[in-house]
Amino acid sequence: MSKVPESAELYQRAFLQLIAEDKNISFHAERGREFLYRPGQLLVGPDDQQRVIEKLRENNIVARPVDGFAGLARLILPNNPEDVPRIVRLLRDQRNWPNQRVPLVQPHHVIVGHGGLVMGNPGDRPYPAEPIPAPKSDDRLREVRVGIIDTGISSGADSEHSDWFAERYDKEPDDVDPAYSSGNHFALQGGHGTFVAGVIQSAAPGVTFDPEVALDQNGFGDEERLCNKIIELGQKKINVLNLSLGCFTEDDVASEPLRRAVEGLPADVVVVASAGNQGTQRPSWPAALCRVTAVAAAEQKRDGSLGPAWYSNWGHWVDACAIGNRASTYLKGEWQLPGEASATPFALWAYWYGTSFAAPLVTGRIAATMVADGITAAQARDKLLSGPEFHPGYGVFVK
């Protein structure tokens, strides 16, 4: 593998600094079991809430119930905000529940955009790219609707990239990506949602999409915000839902709120999610859920051949892969990471890599196959996934 570029190291350092400074994000750093979570919060099955409170009281831990979400109760631990991982393991230990069922309990996990390497965040920031000609629009795709839950969409996307986005989504103020940390300097995942939307349009030109915000401009969100957006889109008419984001969980146990939110979607909605970017077999959620099509990344080598992307997560839970390093629609602004001597200007186009950008290619191909063959989203997905495995743990390659 080639030497990691200096900008990638600076980018990772900037993410870690943000995590360290954010009082609403805690990092469980146990090697091989890392995850991010909201300090002082436990999510509990509603039928288990009272006995969990009583068990915590036996261990001198104060727990206060507050509003939950996605069918789960929530407990606040005012005196033990950083002890959530230890407390979850205490409550999941069968020895502490003799002749009883172990309760459903988990941390409130933090979600990240899957553009690389720190807990799934991009391994390197984007780079400027040359403009890409808009693909010829297929009017039939206007009847197909794709949900995109991400950082949102650029405020000027429909005018600055009119050939790509004009009249293809409803422009709503709460769907706008803040994008910048200050002035015209990009935040660490500013423009991520606009980039993803462009990848979908490149694979399904003319498709209608609904952008929703569940990640801030640095790429951080949580299970509550993501679940609420999934539920919201489930009440609208969408055919495919793209989630270029995810999280690791404590002891790799499936995220229960995400499972419930996804299972609550109409049966004909296909969900596509990125697999994550740590080069591990650890499952990322929601990608690893049974109903979700999990997408890893492939990359084009210097000799022109295709192979698994070195950064991509992989495993038995992955269904498909697509090229993750690509150019797409972006914003105007400048990138300057702490430690860089000068800023890099961007003029509406960027090149980026990550499973974040493999997943929307698959999403777009599902939409395009629907109209080309006159079939449902589920049938289109199954057709795309009917080929041979590209590489063990990477699923079927989708062009």
303 is catalytic: no
Please report which helix (H) or strand (E) contains residue 313, including its range: none
DSSP output for 219-244: SEEEHHHHHHHHHHHHTS--SEEEE-
List the catalytic residue out of 154, 161, 192, 328.
192
Give 247's strand partners: 285
Looking up tokens 């409130």 gives: 108
Q: Is residue 44 within 8 Å of residue 73, measured between CB atoms?
A: yes
Instruction: Say whether the peptide bond before residue 286 is cis (omega within 30 degrees of 0).
Output: yes
Name the token pair of 153: 């969409």
Q: What three-state secondary structure class fits 363? A: helix
List the catalytic residue out of 48, 124, 150, 216.
150
Distance from C-alpha of 331 to C-alpha of 35, rounded to nearest angstrom: 30
Q: Between 49-58 and 84-92, two packed helices, what is the crossing angle to 10 degrees?
A: 110
CA gyration radius for the chain? 21
Q: Is residue 113 within 8 Å of residue 151, measured between CB atoms?
A: yes
Our CA dihedral for 321, 325, 327, 329, rounded to 10 degrees, sits at: 60
List the catalytic residue out of 26, 255, 284, 356.
356
Query: For residue 332, how many other CB atoms are within 10 A of its CB?
Result: 16
Residues 6+ apart with CB under 8 A from 110: 25, 35, 36, 37, 38, 119, 220, 221, 222, 247
356 is catalytic: yes
150 is catalytic: yes
Looking at residue 385, the DSSP 8-state letter turns out to be T
- From the list 280, 321, 350, 316, the residue with the least C-alpha distance to 129 is 350
Give the active site residues. Answer: 150, 192, 356
